[in-house]
Structure 1
Amino acid sequence: MGNGLACMPIKDMRGGFGSRSKRNSSQRKMAAQEELLHRRALSMAINQQNSQRFDGSMSRRTGSMSSRRRTLSDPFSNGKQVPIYLENIETRKFVLVHGEGLGAWCWYKTISLLEEVGLTAVALDLTGSGIDNTDINSITTMADYAKPLIDYLQGLPDDEKVILVGHSCGGAVISYALELHPKKISKAVFLSATMVVDGQRPFDVFAEELGSAENFLEESQSLLYANGRDKPPTGLMFDKQQLKVLFFNHSPSKDIALAMVSMRPIPLAPIMEKASLTPENYGTVRRYFIQTIEDNMLSPDIQEKLVRENPPHGIYKIKGSDHCPFFSKPQSLNKILLEIAQLSW
């Protein structure tokens, strides 16, 4: 990668534990853990009715982990949680930015897991997403779309920084935030995300798999035309079967059901807007990329191309993850986020 990081795979912990009874016990523990996370999600959803964001905080200190490039399977899949101790963390607050069609609700497992080790996690609804009622057809710029995040960063105390995490097209949103408020952000994490370069449209990241952005716009049956068919499309909405195949090919059925009733159409204009990024602002923040190995929406080849063309400070991989590891591999994602939080360079 040109940044001196080595690639060091971590042992896959999914097998080799002996007897069938141990495996059955492990499966029961996983099911219980999953059920607990879903109950927490319901509680968060109820609380969210009175708030624009999921916001939680605790202050328990929790060890130093390696800063090398890693390939992770789900580290908790053997049912035995490995103690994690965090120390000397410069930034304890994560701000989680969802991808296209999703909302703050999609981060419920990540929020719960981060808070369990004493970190703070805030998940925001971008404009026209989640419980924000803005008509997506009225969102015509990245500034419109990213406004909740920019407002949040502007409201932080002068001496406070956060770790930004952007998923999918949320990568373009956090890139926009890096350019505007680099001093508010200690690190940026791109989770299977559109880590664009200056002058690139977020939508262009997907162009190779779609043929081209222009052909897609001409041929797609998923486009919304609020201003009439003779005007440019204003939104995009995949049908449910497409979503299951593209986003959730390894996600639990409960999370897929949650997504099917919660996802919103995507405003098209922000992801068709060219990024304006400078070395003086965007280039001063440490960036990390998390690759999802079994992703049907943003293929591993495209993800590799993104990190070649715009090298981050570190790269991580999650085995067995679809496009939404906060659903399909939440523990592996959490372990990586904790490691990134502890990096001091």
Structure 2
Amino acid sequence: MKTKCSLLLWLCLFVTAANAQSKTYILVHGGWHGAWSWNKVVPLLEAKGNKVLAIDLPGHGDDKTPASSVTLQDCVQKVVSVANSQTGKVILVGHSMAGVIIAQAAEELGKEKVAKLVFLDAFMPKNGESVFALAGKAAQQAKPVNNSQHFPSLQESMIFSEDQKASQLKPENVMALFYHDCSKEDIEFAKSKLGWESMAVLATPITVTEARYGAVPKVYILCTKAKDLDKSSLSSNVPCEKVYTLASSHSPFFSMPEKLTTILDEL
């Protein structure tokens, strides 16, 4: 009887310890992308005992909502809904434009639900800032690049819908913008998946407070070889616990998923 009790106690302690180490990640993709961006990262994080949810924002991936009708709040509510469906706290990871989405979601969810915000080469906003506003700020503060080789800008690469409410990217430009250090297979995969993006999501400023959004711990992962935009100034736009760096393009989930996973898992 004592042996059975001891085994049961040991099992309970083991399960408790395992649950304490396990974390729940919600991975939120950037503009024009989808949950497919995280295909390499999800199994790596899961192999470390974590729960991982890679979601499609409205109008992206398997979600067939017309991009021209999608608002910032639609995207925020998707993240909030997924977070609230989970037991315990979650870690929100936002890539690129999703930085503003997870910021607004954190305002609604609060530190009681969000253990940490992770901005992956993302737009990390203050109250009243949008993706477009932050892109302009980052461009003004970017260090001059002495390089005779011209890289297409993101603005030059956008093709707008007839009503100007959505855009897609010129396929011939995306490798230079996002994937210059990625494999040929990953580049072709991404090209086949890239879709339309709502302009409203990029243009709408967020409304956040220090008491809610400001109270959630934040980390920034800066991709130092990204060619779409130098975001080094954005990594200090809002106070962070820590700033990590990856010598990668804007898409480390493709080019160095193991290194990215190591950072995420140690949070």
TM-score range, shorter chain: 0.7 to 0.9
Which among 303, 324, 327 is matched to residue 254 of structure 2? 327
- Is the Cα contact below 8 Å between 1:291 and 1:318 reproduced in 2? yes
- Is the Cα contact below 8 Å between 2:168 and 2:195 reproduced in 1? yes
Could you list the per-position Cα deviations for residues 16-38 of structure 1 after superposition, in whole angstroms to 9, with x for gaps in the alignment?
xxxxxxxxxxxxxxxxxxxxxxx
CA distance in 2, matches of 1:293, 1:221: 21
Name the structure 1 match of 2:134: 205
Aligned ranges 1:163-178 → 2 under 5 Å: 163-178=91-106
- Is the Cα contact below 8 Å between 2:138 and 2:234 reproduced in 1? no
Supply the AA of the counterpart residue of 1:146: V
Supply the AA of the counterpart residue of 2:67: I
Name the structure 1 match of 2:61: 130
Name the structure 1 match of 2:151: none
- Is the Cα contact below 8 Å between 1:192 and 1:298 reproduced in 2? no
Shift of 1:338: 1.3
Could you list the per-position Cα deviations for residues 269-318 of structure 1 after superposition, in whole angstroms to 9, with x for gaps in the alignment?
0110111110111011110000111000131xxx2211233121111011
Supply the AA of the counterpart residue of 1:281: R
Could you list the per-position Cα deviations for residues 203-231 of structure 1 after superposition, in whole angstroms to 9, with x for gaps in the alignment?
222225778xxxxxxx857342443xxxx
CA distance in 1, matches of 2:79, 2:209: 20
1:121 equivalent in alignment to 2:49: no
Aligned ranges 1:1-345 → 2 under 5 Å: 89=20, 92-139=23-70, 141-157=71-87, 160-182=88-110, 183-207=112-136, 222-227=158-163, 233-299=164-230, 303-319=231-247, 321-340=248-267
Q: TM-score, normalised by structure 2?
A: 0.83
CA distance in 2, matches of 1:220, 1:334: 32
CA distance in 2, matches of 1:313, 1:210: 24
Supply the AA of the counterpart residue of 1:191: L
What residue ranges of structure 2 are gaps of 5+ in the alignment? 1-13, 141-154
CA distance in 1, matches of 2:48, 2:138: 39
- Is the Cα contact below 8 Å between 2:99 and 2:123 reproduced in 1? yes
Shift of 1:138: 1.0
Name the structure 2 match of 1:77: none
In the alignment of these two chains, the number of paired residues is: 237
Percentage of pairs with the same residue: 30
Runs of 4 or more, structure 1, over 3 Å off, are: 86-91, 208-211
CA distance in 2, matches of 1:209, 1:337: 25
Change in CA separation of 1:91 and 1:306 when aligned onto 2, cut-off 3 Å = farther
C-alpha RMSD of the superposition: 2.1
What's the secondary structure of 1:237's corresponding residue? strand
Could you list the per-position Cα deviations for residues 2-21 of structure 1 after superposition, in whole angstroms to 9, with x for gaps in the alignment?
xxxxxxxxxxxxxxxxxxxx
